[in-house]
Amino acid sequence: MAKSTWKVAVPLVAVVVTALAACGSTPKHAEMVTTSGGSNVPGAPAVDRSKCNDKGKHVVTADTNQDQKPDVWKFFQMADIGGQKTEVLTCKEVDLNHDGKIDLVYYYDDKGQATTLEEADLDFDGKFDISRYFAGGKLVREEMDTNFDQKPDVWKYYEEEKLVRIERDSNGDGKVDEWQYYEGGKLDRIGYDTTGSGKVDRWDRAPEGDEGGDSGGNAPPSAAAAPAAGAAAPAATTPPPAAPAATTPPAPKAGATPPAGKTPAAAPASKK
């Protein structure tokens, strides 16, 4: 099917605008494999991945290094916003190293303003290594593939963009076997599954002076490639899911909030 293409010359960047009527016009990328059944990993927030499918969308491309090949793709779709038909941004894809493979993908909400998911290929092998989920524009979860087998093995959970829990699959069986809990941005206690039951059966106190973990999580995989912020997004509505129940952990340090009842694996409440 025919398509129309024209170039608009601007300083340093040649923008190529293409009206697409068929799919398959953008490079493909390899997503991380979703955790299979039988895993104790909480399910990730739902994301409409069709937003990065060019079918029925207006795709705008940019050639940032002027090699006559596109390296940025923006997907737009008509939506009803306030009773008016408006073209909104649904997805953005970026080829950072100009090898023809997608290295960064951003999914947007229905208004085209707030990011709902970011995915990145950190080692430029054509496979995504990290996924970052957002609710109301705030980071709530990260998934990382640290051994490059296209399966996540580290999960980080955030409340008000503060790290509260890290889960790890240390033996590659698809199940979490280590839980790290944070209080006030510092590692407080660690739970281990030593039997393969999917539940904590041993607890350790974090060493004194161990700061641990992240301070927040505001920086995207590539700040330079991140899209500009849109209008204010609604308040977050999807808190990080609770981890599986476990045996009684040691009492938290002074000033920390201990887990309630017999479900110590629940994420500690965020502090304000």
Q: What is the pLDDT of residues 177-224, one digit of tens each?
A: 999 999 999 999 999 999 999 999 999 998 776 555 554 444 444 433
pLDDT in the model for residue 234: 40
141 touches 243 (CB < 8 A): no
pLDDT digits (tens, 9 = 90+) for 72-126: 999 999 999 889 999 999 999 999 999 999 999 999 999 999 999 999 999 999 9
pLDDT digits (tens, 9 = 90+) for 129-148: 999 999 999 999 999 999 98
User: Is a pLDDT exceeding 60 seen at residue 172?
Assistant: yes
CA distances from 30 to 60, 78, 129 (A): 22, 27, 10
108 forms beta bridges with: 115
pLDDT digits (tens, 9 = 90+) for 19-66: 333 344 567 666 777 655 678 999 999 999 999 999 999 999 999 999
Rounded mean pLDDT, 239-248: 51
Backbone angles phi, psi at 178, to 5 degrees: -145, 130
Three-class SS of residue 110? Answer: coil
pLDDT in the model for residue 166: 98
Helix (H) or strand (E) segment spanning residue 154: strand 154-159
- Sequence-separated (6 or more) residues with CB below 8 Å from residue 97: 103, 124
User: Looking at per-residue confidence, does 26 or 252 come out higher?
Assistant: 26
CA distance 125 to 154: 19
Domain boundaries, the chain: 1-24+46-94, 136-272
Q: Is the pTM higher than 0.75? A: no
What are the tokens at 129? 């290594």
pLDDT in the model for residue 36: 59
Rounded mean pLDDT, 220-235: 40
Rounded mean pLDDT, 6-10: 35
Rounded mean pLDDT, 220-247: 44
Burial of 165 (0-12, 13-18, 19+ CB in 10 A): buried
100 touches 69 (CB < 8 A): yes
pLDDT in the model for residue 95: 97
pLDDT in the model for residue 82: 87
Candidates 105, 88, 89; CA nearest to 27 is: 105
User: Is a pLDDT exceeding 50 seen at residue 69?
Assistant: yes
Confidence of residue 252 (pLDDT cuts 50, 70, 90): low
pLDDT in the model for residue 21: 36
User: Looking at per-residue confidence, does 172 or 4 come out higher?
Assistant: 172
What are the tokens at 258? 């201990």
